[in-house]
Amino acid sequence: MNHRLEILLLMLIVLLVLRRSHAGEADAPAGIPWAKSFAEAREASSKAGKPLLVDFEAEWCGFCKKLDRETYSDERVIRKVRERFLAVKVDVDVEPELAKKHRIEGLPTIVVLSPSGEELQRIQGFRAPELFLKDLDRSAESSASLAKLKDLAAKDPRDSAAQRAYARALFAAGNAGGAVKVLEAARGAAPAEAARAGILLDLGDALRSGGKLAEARDAYRGILAMRPEDSGEARARAFVPLANVLVSLRDAAGAIEALDLGLKEEAAKGRDRIEAFLLRAYAHAVRKDAERALADLKAVKDLDPDGRWGLRASQIVDLLETK
């Protein structure tokens, strides 16, 4: 082989090596592009229409560092975040008010927000790459679904079905406060009593979930204040949650009154009927009416003879009747 051919082959080998090296660099993800600040990230998320991944961390958090080393460095995770999300890190010691606003109690906690700021998902603790990828897929799907439901709700404030669907999606995503706002607005715009009753039912559930028991009680009572023929299906479904709220508010007499009416109207069916008798038994016991409490426990026993609640009721009945 002559000298010139050797030089040509060497040059070609070098070019091939360089090409492969540069191709590898182009294919490899460069890492997750974390935003500089939460405010900047929220604005970018809103403009781009992409959900925002917020990683709440701290310098002293060992599992936060493990998340950085093992999960955020994974090429699949990097690509997924780059393609479908925007991302920002928040140090809870530097921004304690932001951590408080998002109810951060342990680290690491990752909160995924929709482009309009609703919470879509909350991921607590370390996640290996495989599990984290599944979490990201769920968040992306929730964001797309929530956006569609929000658009439908915005088209017609009087469309109570669309308002309830959007509020339920917010509630399912853990954003009870957002659901309450949507439902309160829809309540005033609902064109018919049956629609308002359904909205009040969902509103009561969201308020109850958020710990606002007095407001939840008023929502459920608003349904029962309507004529039965106007409140529709919502009336039958309001008795048991109202009684639960009243028991929590230590209003045993009010709970008994609500359940008496619901059972008289035969509103509660299936598992709800069993719960109605259990709740009324408890309320009677609180009022020291052992005879009525025992009668309700026997009703539970008859309704659910082989089930968990029937067996427990049976044990209590047997215990009381042997003493």
Kindly report, residue by residue over 215-265, the tens digit of the pLDDT: 999 999 999 999 888 888 899 999 999 999 999 999 999 999 999 999 988
Distance, in Å, from the CA atom of 202 to the CA atom of 214, rounded to the nearest integer, reads 15
DSSP 70: I
- Compute the distance between CA of residue 248 and CA of residue 39 in angstroms, rounded to an integer: 39
What is the C-alpha to C-alpha distance for residues 134 and 120, in angstroms, rounded to an integer?
14
Distances (CA, A) of 222 to 168, 194, 216: 20, 12, 10
pLDDT of residue 12: 54
> Residue 27's pLDDT is what?
45
What confidence score (pLDDT) does residue 2 get?
53
| pTM beyond cutoff 0.95 | no
Question: How far apart (Å, rounded) are the C-alpha atoms in residues 153 and 139?
Answer: 21
**Taking the C-alpha atoms of 265, 266, 269 and 270 in order, what is their torsion angle to the nearest 10 degrees?**
150
Assigned superfamily of 156-321 = Tetratricopeptide repeat domain (1.25.40.10)
Using an 8 Å Cβ cutoff, are 279 and 244 in contact? Answer: yes
Tell me the C-alpha distance between 286 and 271, whole Å: 23
Helix residue ranges, H only, the chain: 3-27, 38-48, 62-66, 75-84, 96-101, 129-155, 160-172, 176-189, 193-209, 213-224, 228-231, 233-248, 252-264, 270-286, 290-303, 308-321
What is the model's pLDDT at position 323? 58
CA atoms of 220 and 157, how far apart (whole Å) = 22
Rounded to 5 degrees, what angle do the CA atoms 255, 252, 246 make? 55
CATH number of this structure's domain 34-131: 3.40.30.10
pLDDT at 22: 45
For 108, phi then psi, to 5°, come to: -75, 150
pLDDT at 188: 82
pLDDT of residue 255: 95
Query: What are the residues whose beta carbons fall under 8 Å from the beta carbon of 167, sequence distance 6 or more?
Result: 178, 179, 182, 183, 186, 202, 206
**Segment 119-151, tens digit of pLDDT:** 888 999 999 999 999 988 888 887 777 778 888
Nearest to 56, CA basis, from 108, 122, 114: 108
Instruction: Name residues of the chain where pLDDT drops below 70.
Output: 1-30, 173-174, 268, 323
In the chain, CATH 1.25.40.10 covers: 156-321
